[in-house]
């Protein structure tokens, strides 16, 4: 694996736009899979990868990597992102009260939900982020994502593909302890603002051993411990605030490894505050529209991490199938790892 081409310390904090442009020059995948491509790095995840991944099912133990979807979630309304509102159309109390009108003693319950697609455990689709008006593969953003949704790269285009080899990089456990009193580094928690570099990722891989090798078509899940902390201390600004996360400089690594997707246990995947004076999610701006990379956020990796730490096997069979909501730029997901 390639070391970071640039060091975070060398970033010009005053010039995110320049840094982004320079990075894009190195890592762009535009045109790599033809001008019609809508799947980006999911092209790396093919049948052969999936077939090989079957071997990773050792005991058959399964883990849901999803947080629950309910009103007790972390959202506070930023950009109209609320927690899911789940309401009932029919209930058991109604059934018992005898008001449902069904024959032969049948009773029923039904329900509805209203939620932002990014409210909890989710995938960012390729239409989620643009760079200077350009979406994945160089398309004009205003011809791709309108009020009618994403007419080209809607999440439904990857409905059948996101299943294969997953690899956990438990950076929180591998890197700690740090000296930050706010976090429990013995529990594998990185502090807010901790920028995970390619070196950190490689060190984690090395420390975890051979099952952690990362390569083409893999779905990498990075544990920072941020969710563990929220679980202990309360949500606070878990959704939208400071957090550990990937350094802007990992764009090279994300490109060179040819992974299919990456997910974290934080709301925003990359380190917050960002590594520039005035910036908002610059790594997103590189990897979604230019790499065509799928990013998962708010995944719950704690139970899986416990199991991996116990037996030292860090790869597994992972299915993280988005709901094929036509034209959606993201999707809630319940990723399931079997190991």
Subset of residues 118 to 147 that bind a second copy, contact rule: CB under 8 A: 118, 127-133, 135, 140-147
What angle separates helix 302-311 from helix 226-233, to the nearest 10 degrees? 120
336 lies in the binding site for a second copy (CB under 8 A): yes
Tell me the two tokens of residue 134: 């350009």
Find out whether 332 and 119 touch, Cβ atoms under 8 Å.
yes
Residue 84 touches a second copy, criterion: CB under 8 A: yes
CB 262 within 8 Å of CB 220: yes
Question: Segment contacting a second copy (CB under 8 A): 4-12, 70-78, 240-248, 291-299?
Answer: 70-78
Asked if 14 is part of the footprint of a second copy (rule: CB under 8 A), the reply reads: no
Task: Report the site for a second copy in 41-60 (rule: CB under 8 A).
Answer: 46-55, 57-60
Q: Exactly one of 22, 159, 187, 307 binds a second copy (CB under 8 A); which one?
A: 159
Q: Are 5 and 26 in contact (CB under 8 A)?
A: yes
Residue 75 or 257 with smaller CB distance to a second copy: 75
**CA 194 – CA 247 distance, rounded (Å):** 8
* Per CB under 8 A, 108 contacts a second copy: yes
Query: Minimum distance between the CB of residue 231 and a second copy, rounded to whole angstroms?
Result: 15
Q: Does 211 bind a second copy (CB under 8 A)?
A: no
Using DSSP, state whether 173 is helix, strand or coil: helix
Q: Residue from 12, 93, 209, 311 that binds a second copy (CB under 8 A)?
A: 93
Write phi, then psi, for 18 (nearest 5 degrees): -65, -40
Q: Which range in 28-36, 106-114, 175-183, 242-250 contacts a second copy by CB under 8 A? A: 106-114
The answer to the question of residue 301 lying near a second copy (CB under 8 A) is: no
What is the DSSP track for 252-276?
HHHHHTT-SEEEESSSSSB-BS-SS
Taking the C-alpha atoms of residue 253 and residue 271, their distance in angstroms, rounded to an integer, is 15
């Amino acid at each position: 694996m390639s070391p970071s081409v640039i060091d975070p310390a060398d970033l010009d904090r005053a010039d995110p736009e320049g840094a982004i442009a320079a990075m894009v020059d190195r890592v762009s995948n535009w045109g790599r899979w033809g001008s019609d491509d809508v799947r980006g790095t999911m092209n790396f995840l093919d049948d052969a990868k999936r077939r090989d991944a079957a071997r990773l099912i050792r005991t058959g133990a399964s883990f849901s990597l999803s947080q629950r979807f309910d009103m007790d979630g972390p959202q506070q309304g930023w950009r109209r992102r609320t927690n899911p509102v789940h309401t009932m159309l029919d209930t058991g109390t109604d059934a018992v009260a005898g008001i449902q009108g069904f024959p032969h003693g049948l009773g029923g319950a039904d329900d509805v939900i209203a939620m932002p697609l990014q409210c909890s455990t989710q995938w960012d689709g390729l239409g989620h982020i643009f760079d200077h008006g350009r979406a994945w593969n160089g398309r004009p953003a205003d011809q791709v994502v309108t009020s009618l949704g994403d007419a080209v790269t809607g999440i439904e285009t990857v409905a059948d593909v996101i299943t294969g080899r997953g690899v956990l990089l438990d950076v929180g456990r591998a890197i700690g302890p740090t000296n930050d009193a706010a976090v429990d580094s013995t529990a594998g928690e990185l502090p807010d603002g901790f920028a995970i570099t390619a070196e950190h990722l490689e060190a984690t891989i090395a420390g975890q051993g051979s099952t952690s090798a990362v390569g083409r078509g893999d779905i990498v899940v990075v544990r920072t411990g941020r969710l563990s902390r929220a679980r202990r201390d309360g949500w606070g600004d878990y959704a939208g605030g400071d957090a550990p996360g990937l350094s802007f400089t990992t764009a090279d690594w994300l490109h060179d490894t040819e992974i299919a997707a990456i997910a974290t246990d934080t709301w925003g995947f990359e380190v917050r505050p960002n590594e520039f004076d005035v910036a908002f999610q610059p790594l997103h701006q590189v990897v979604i529209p230019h790499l065509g990379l799928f990013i998962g956020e708010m995944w719950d990796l704690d139970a899986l991490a416990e199991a991996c730490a116990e037996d030292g096997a860090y790869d597994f069979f992972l299915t993280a199938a988005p709901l094929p909501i036509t034209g959606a730029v993201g999707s809630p997901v319940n990723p399931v790892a079997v190991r």
